C-alpha cells in the first residue's frame, strides 16, 4: 500500500496545485484518524484525484500568484471542510449525499477524468499552458503543439505505456512506484535534465509540525462556501467507495460515523499543512486485492510515509515531471465510467441529460460550479416530476379487499356512487392544485353520479398546510355538489396534520378509516353495494 501511496500522493499534490511534499503531509494523519474512527475495515483515506481537482478549483482564484498563500489556503480549506464533516456527522446528516444522485456522480467523475487529462497535456508535451476551461485549454494546446519538447514527450508516453501494460498483465505490481523508480534511474543514467526534461526538484526532508494556517479573517470566510461543497462531494465519493467494498465483503458501515471520520482526517491533513482528502477508490481496491482486512493497513502505510519523509526525499528530486503527468493520466483513465454513461443513456434520457450537464459543467465553468448546477437541475426535475405524480381511480379485485388501479387492471370491481382516488405523492404546496384538478377529473369521469369521494392516503407520506387547505377546498366544493369526502389509510404524520389543522373535526371523525375496505363497506348502501357491470 505504501508503494502506491507515496507516488500517488506526490502526483496528486501537483494536481491540487501545491509542491509535492504536501501530498505526503496530507496523507499522514488522515490514515491514522480513519483507522481509529472509521467504520470500514478497508477504506483508505488519502489524496484523491477528484478532491484534488476540486481543491485547485476553489483555491486558485483566491490565491493569486503567491505560492505560500496558496498552500495556507489549501490547509485552511481542509480544516474548514473537516469541521463541516464532523458537524454533519454529529447532526446525523449523512443523508445529504443523497442529493448527489448517481447521474451527478457519474458525470462528475467522467468530467474530472477529462479535466485531469487535459490539465496534464502541457506537462506531458513539455509545453507551458495557462490554466483554463477544457475547450480553451485544448485550443491553446493546438496552437503550441508545434513547440512540443520531444524528449519530454518520449519519457511521458513511455511511462504511460508501461503503466497500462503493468495494469493489464501484472496488476499486483505497484505501477506508480515502478515507473517512478525507473524514471529516477533513467534520469540519472541518461542525464535527462541536461536534455531539457523538467525534474520534480528538491523535497524538504522531515516531518511537518502541526500548525493552524496564518490567514486573515477574510481568507477564512472566503473558503466557507467552497469547503461546504467540497465536504459534501468528498464524503459522497468516499461513501460510494466504502459502500461498494462493504457490499462485496459483507460488512456494514455507519454513514454518520464516516462523516465524522472524514472530518477528523481532513482536520489532521490541514494541521500538517496538507490539503483535503477523501476515500481513495484505487488504493482501497488495491488494499482489497492484496488481502487487507483491517485498518492496520492504514497505520502501516502512514508509518512508511513518515519514513519516506525522513529518509527518502533526496532520490525523489530526480523524478522527471512527465512521469508524474503519466501517473496522473493513468489514474484519470480509471475514473472514466463508460459503462455507467451507456446504462444511463439506455435507461433514462433525463438522468443522462443531468449526467452530461454535470460533465460539461465540470470541464467548462468549473468543478464546484458544474456540480452545483447539476444538483440544481436534478432538484428542479424532481420537483417537476413530483408536482405531477401518478394517480389512480381504484377498484377492488373480486372476492378480496385488495384495491388496484382500474385503468391498469380492468378486472377490478367499481362501486356505483363511489370514487376511490389515490394520489401517489405527498400533498404539498407545489402539487396541491394538481391534486384538486385530478380529483375533480376522477369525479367527472365516473360512470355513475358520485355521492362519495374516498381519498386513499396510503401513498401520501407527507402533508403540509397548503395540502390541508387543498383538501378542505375540495371538500367544500364537492359538498356543494352533494358529494361527501372520506379519508382512508392515512399514515400517522398525515393524520396528525389533519387533526392539528382541524380538518378531521370539520369532515367528521366518522369519515376517517384505517383502510379502504372499511370505508367502502360503511359508504355502500345495501341496495347499491354490488359492483358495477363491466
Long-range contacts of 469-475 (CB under 8 A, 24+ apart): 469/432, 470/427, 470/432, 470/433, 470/435, 470/436, 471/427, 471/498, 471/503, 472/503, 472/506, 473/436, 474/435, 474/436, 474/439, 474/440, 475/506, 475/507
pLDDT digits 0-9 by tens, 344-372: 999 998 889 888 988 888 888 776 677 77
Mean pLDDT in the chain? 89
**pLDDT band, residue 250 (cuts 50/70/90):** confident
More confident residue, 196 or 290: 196
| pLDDT exceeds 50 at position 166 | yes
If one looks up domain 391-528 in CATH, what number appears? 3.30.750.24
Question: What is the structure's pLDDT at 532?
Answer: 53
| pLDDT exceeds 60 at position 533 | no
Question: What is the structure's pLDDT at 407?
Answer: 93
CA-CA distance, 115 to 132, in Å (whole number)? 10
pLDDT digits 0-9 by tens, 329-338: 888 888 788 8
| pLDDT exceeds 90 at position 486 | yes
CA-CA distance, 498 to 506, in Å (whole number)? 10
| pLDDT exceeds 80 at position 98 | no
| pLDDT exceeds 90 at position 483 | yes
Question: What is the structure's pLDDT at 237?
Answer: 81
Question: What is the structure's pLDDT at 97?
Answer: 67
Question: What is the structure's pLDDT at 100?
Answer: 67
More confident residue, 534 or 195: 195
Q: Please provide the DSSP assignment of 399-432 as one string.
A: TSS-EEETTT-TTSB--TTEEEEEE-S-B-TTTH
| pLDDT exceeds 90 at position 6 | no
**pLDDT band, residue 48 (cuts 50/70/90):** confident
Q: How do the residues of the chain divide into helix, strand and coil, expressed in percent and rounded to 5?
A: 65, 5, 30
More confident residue, 274 or 248: 274
Average of per-residue pLDDT across 453-479: 95
CA-CA distance, 503 to 395, in Å (whole number)? 26
**pLDDT band, residue 529 (cuts 50/70/90):** low
Q: How far is CA 300 from its chain centroid?
A: 29
Phi-psi region of 222 (alpha: psi -120 to 50; beta: other; left: phi over 0): alpha
| pLDDT exceeds 70 at position 297 | yes
**pLDDT band, residue 309 (cuts 50/70/90):** very high
Q: Please provide the DSSP assignment of 87-134 as one string.
A: HHHHTT-GGGGGGS-HHHHHHHHHHHHHHHHHHHHHHHHT-------H
Question: Positive or negative, the Cα torsion across 128, 133, 138, 139?
Answer: negative
| pLDDT exceeds 60 at position 531 | no
CA-CA distance, 81 to 278, in Å (whole number)? 11
**pLDDT band, residue 526 (cuts 50/70/90):** very low
Average of per-residue pLDDT across 55-73: 91
**pLDDT band, residue 534 (cuts 50/70/90):** very low
pTM value > 0.85: no
Domain with CATH 3.30.750.24 in the chain: 391-528
Question: What is the structure's pLDDT at 93?
Answer: 84
Amino acid at each position: 500500500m505504501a508503494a502506491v501511496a507515496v507516488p500517488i500522493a506526490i502526483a496528486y499534490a501537483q494536481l491540487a496545485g501545491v509542491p509535492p511534499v504536501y501530498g505526503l503531509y496530507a496523507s499522514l494523519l488522515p490514515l491514522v484518524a480513519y483507522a481509529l474512527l472509521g467504520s470500514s475495515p478497508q477504506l483508505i483515506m488519502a489524496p484523491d484525484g477528484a478532491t484534488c481537482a476540486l481543491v485547485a478549483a476553489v483555491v486558485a482564484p483566491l490565491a493569486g500568484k503567491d505560492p505560500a498563500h496558496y498552500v495556507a489556503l489549501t490547509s485552511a480549506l481542509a480544516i474548514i471542510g473537516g469541521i463541516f464533516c464532523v458537524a454533519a456527522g454529529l447532526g446525523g446528516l449523512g443523508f445529504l449525499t443523497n442529493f448527489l444522485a448517481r447521474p451527478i456522480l457519474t458525470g462528475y467523475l467522467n468530467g474530472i477524468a477529462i479535466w485531469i487529462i487535459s490539465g496534464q497535456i502541457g506537462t506531458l508535451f513539455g509545453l507551458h499552458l495557462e490554466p483554463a476551461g477544457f475547450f480553451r485549454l485544448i485550443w491553446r494546446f493546438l496552437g503550441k503543439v508545434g513547440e512540443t519538447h520531444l524528449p519530454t514527450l518520449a519519457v511521458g508516453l513511455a511511462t504511460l505505456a508501461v503503466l497500462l501494460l503493468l495494469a493489464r498483465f501484472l496488476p499486483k505490481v505497484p505501477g506508480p512506484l515502478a515507473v517512478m523508480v525507473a524514471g529516477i534511474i533513467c534520469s540519472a543514467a541518461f542525464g535527462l535534465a541536461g536534455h531539457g526534461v523538467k525534474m520534480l526538484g528538491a523535497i524538504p526532508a522531515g516531518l511537518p509540525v502541526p500548525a493552524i494556517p496564518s490567514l486573515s479573517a477574510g481568507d477564512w470566510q472566503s473558503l466557507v462556501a467552497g469547503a461546504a461543497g467540497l465536504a459534501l462531494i468528498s464524503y459522497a465519493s468516499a461513501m460510494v467507495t466504502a459502500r461498494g467494498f462493504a457490499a462485496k465483503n459483507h460488512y456494514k458501515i455507519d454513514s454518520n460515523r464516516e462523516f465524522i471520520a472524514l472530518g477528523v482526517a481532513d482536520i489532521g491533513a490541514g494541521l500538517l499543512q496538507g490539503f483535503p482528502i477523501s476515500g481513495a477508490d484505487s488504493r482501497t481496491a488495491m488494499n482489497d486485492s492484496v488481502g487487507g482486512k483491517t485498518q492496520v493497513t492504514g497505520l502501516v502505510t502512514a508509518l512508511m510515509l513518515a519514513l519516506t519523509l525522513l529518509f527518502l526525499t533526496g532520490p525523489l528530486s530526480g523524478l522527471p515531471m512527465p512521469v508524474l503527468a503519466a501517473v496522473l493520466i493513468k489514474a484519470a483513465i480509471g475514473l472514466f465510467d463508460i459503462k455507467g454513461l451507456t446504462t444511463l443513456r439506455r435507461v433514462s434520457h433525463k438522468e443522462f441529460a443531468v449526467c452530461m450537464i454535470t460533465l460539461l459543467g465540470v470541464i467548462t465553468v468549473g468543478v464546484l460550479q458544474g456540480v452545483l448546477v447539476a444538483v440544481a437541475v436534478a432538484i428542479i426535475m424532481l420537483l417537476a416530476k413530483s408536482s405531477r405524480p401518478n394517480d389512480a381511480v381504484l377498484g377492488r379485485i373480486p372476492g378480496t379487499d385488495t384495491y388496484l388501479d382500474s385503468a391498469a387492471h380492468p378486472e377490478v370491481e367499481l362501486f356505483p356512487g363511489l370514487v376511490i382516488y389515490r394520489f401517489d405523492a405527498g400533498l404539498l404546496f407545489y402539487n396541491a392544485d394538481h391534486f384538486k384538478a385530478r380529483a375533480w377529473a376522477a369525479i367527472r369521469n365516473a360512470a355513475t353520479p358520485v355521492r362519495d369521494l374516498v381519498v386513499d392516503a396510503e401513498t401520501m407520506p407527507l402533508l403540509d398546510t397548503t395540502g390541508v387547505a387543498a383538501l378542505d377546498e375540495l371538500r367544500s366544493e364537492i359538498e356543494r355538489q352533494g358529494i361527501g369526502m372520506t379519508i382512508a389509510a392515512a399514515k400517522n404524520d398525515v393524520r396528525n396534520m389533519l387533526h392539528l389543522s382541524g380538518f378531521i373535526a370539520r369532515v367528521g371523525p366518522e369519515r376517517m378509516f384505517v383502510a379502504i375496505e372499511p370505508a367502502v363497506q360503511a359508504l355502500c348502501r345495501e341496495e347499491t353495494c354490488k359492483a358495477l357491470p363491466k
